Amino acid sequence: MDLKEKLPVNVRDDKISEETKSLISSLPSHTDSHGNKMCRFQGCWYYYNTLQGVLNFQRGFQPQDTDIILASYPKSGTTWLKALTVALLERSKNHSSDHHPLLSHNPQRIVPYFELGLYIESSSPDLTKYSSVPRLFSTHMPLDAMHETLKDSPCKIVYVCRNVKDTLRVLFMRYEEMKAEPHDQIKRLADFLGCPFTKEEKENGCVDEVLDLCSLRNLSGLEINKTGKSYNWDNKIFFRKGEVGDWKNYLTPEMENKIDMIIQEKLQGSGLKF
């Protein structure tokens, strides 16, 4: 097998069209620490195949009013958010204890990415297998990249952000708050998704059950997440420490100060604080 074929498909450059090649030639370019090529488009850096996925999404995605899109920056709690959302929406199906989808499928597979999977090869992929209501999708695209496509849609977007030192109708969730106040934050998420916990569910411990099912300890210990693959990545890489403030073990004070200055500059006036 060619070494390039071993890379996750979104990191490669074998799916780009001639039109996209021409576009890339006009964009600022860069190579990452592993030598993989990237380019800057609409203010964001993308691997070449990922850019093709973004362009295909922008051209072809037709949102449905009930769609739910989970958006995040990589390594910001994406897998956890996917698991929590699936668990909340699956409550009404009354799965037996050993038949819940999270026990046999990685959350990354249950909630597919737009630009990293579905749209990487076509602007009109077959979405018939995602016909349940609501449809669940995910993305690492910034909201600006989705604005034109979604601006007239009432679909819901949940955006989880995290202190970068650890790193529409939109609900913003902070990873640090999800860790510190899991009960309050999951009820907030359920309310936004339109599937609030009933009084009976709260009294019967349903909130704790969802949190336990989606805990790092439980998900990382499942066989599917220890041995399976998603997007050519080993599933186990999606489960890290999950610790708030772990950046202190890796960043120097100088690096911390520089990041703080960038955060202050970029988020000024947004209402977001870290």
The residues carrying an active-site annotation are: 140
Helix (H, G, I), strand (E, B) or coil at 105: coil
DSSP codes of every residue in 47-93: EHHHHHHHHHHHHH----TT-EEEEE-TTSSHHHHHHHHHHHHHGGG
Residues 28 and 39 sit within 8 Å (Cβ to Cβ): yes
DSSP codes of every residue in 106-125: -HHHHS-BIIIIITSS-SS-
Residues near 29 by Cβ (< 8 Å), separated by ≥ 6?
37, 38, 39, 40
Q: Among 274, 233, 210, 53, which residue's Cα sits nearest to residue 146?
A: 53
User: Which H or E run includes 139?
Assistant: strand 136-139
Residues 104 and 130 sit within 8 Å (Cβ to Cβ): no
Helix (H, G, I), strand (E, B) or coil at 270: coil
Compute the distance between CA of residue 30 and CA of residue 107 in angstroms, rounded to an integer. 31
- Residue 64 φ/ψ, nearest 5 degrees: -100, 150
Q: Hey, what amino acid is at 105?
A: H
Compute the distance between CA of residue 163 and CA of residue 198 in angstroms, rounded to an integer. 32
